[in-house]
Amino acid sequence: MSGVAVLAADGFETIECLTVVDVLRRGGIHTALVSIMDTRDVVTSQQIPVTCDVTFDEVDFSEYDYVVLPGGLPGATNLRADERVCELVREFAATKHVAAICAAPFILAELGVLEGHKATCFPGFEAAFPAGSFAGDRTVVVDGNVITASGMGQALPFALAILNDIAGEVAVQKVKDGIQL
């Protein structure tokens, strides 16, 4: 079974991050909330304290097939500033899967991951995208091994798209039924 590592840095968008963790766990996917900070404790952009499952240095990323980057500011810029995260994103984009929502797709763009892919992001962050790669706003875009979403309002469809890619429509429908969607 595929595993998903959701990376959290101080300043992440609560709903974009925790919705992914919640939906994937409901769908039976091994999902770890990974702090890139020095401790397991992170604080969201809304000043909500969250204790992650593990820190970045405690994870064996070979056990995971997906890395997810939540948006929010300064969470996305904190992810981008961490070279460990950048190396991991490059590796997963080349050999596995990456997903990013809201502001975080700019990280994929700056690391060259969006070359040859269609993607979306929160309005204004598409400036970092390669020419012709922006697929529009208020949406979720699945393009090969890259999934992006435009913002917090797309957090549930984003999480379901990741679940669908990993476990298929039966798992998605089970989660939808369980949450009355």
What is the pLDDT, as a whole number, of residue 115? Answer: 96
Q: Kindly write down the DSSP assignment for every residue of 134-161, as one continuous string.
A: B--SSSEEEETTEEEE-SGGGHHHHHHH
Q: What pLDDT digit, counting tens, does each position of 51-97 carry?
A: 999 999 999 999 999 999 999 999 999 999 999 999 999 999 999 99
> Is 148 inside a domain boundary?
yes
Q: What pLDDT digit, counting tens, does each position of 122-175 carry?
A: 999 999 999 999 999 989 999 999 999 999 999 999 999 999 999 999 999 999
> Is 180 inside a domain boundary?
no
| 130/117 Cα distance (integer angstroms) | 9
What is the pLDDT, as a whole number, of residue 2? Answer: 78
Considering the candidates 17, 52, 102, 121, report the single residue annotated as catalytic: 102
When divided into structural domains, the chain yields a total of 1
> Is 14 inside a domain boundary?
yes
Mean pLDDT of 25-53: 98
What is the pLDDT, as a whole number, of residue 53? Answer: 98
> Is 112 inside a domain boundary?
yes
Q: What pLDDT digit, counting tens, does each position of 91-131 carry?
A: 999 999 999 999 999 999 999 999 999 999 999 999 999 99
Q: Is 102 a catalytic residue?
A: yes
Query: Hey, what are 63's tokens?
Result: 């056990």
| Domain CATH for 112 | 3.40.50.880
> Is 181 inside a domain boundary?
no
> Is 63 inside a domain boundary?
yes
> Is 40 inside a domain boundary?
yes
pLDDT-derived band at 1 (thresholds 50, 70, 90) equals low
What is the residue-averaged pLDDT of the chain?
97
- Sign of the dihedral defined by the CA atoms of residues 155, 122, 168, 98, in that order: negative
| 46/6 Cα distance (integer angstroms) | 18
155: containing domain: 3-175
What is the pLDDT, as a whole number, of residue 55? Answer: 98
> Is 47 inside a domain boundary?
yes
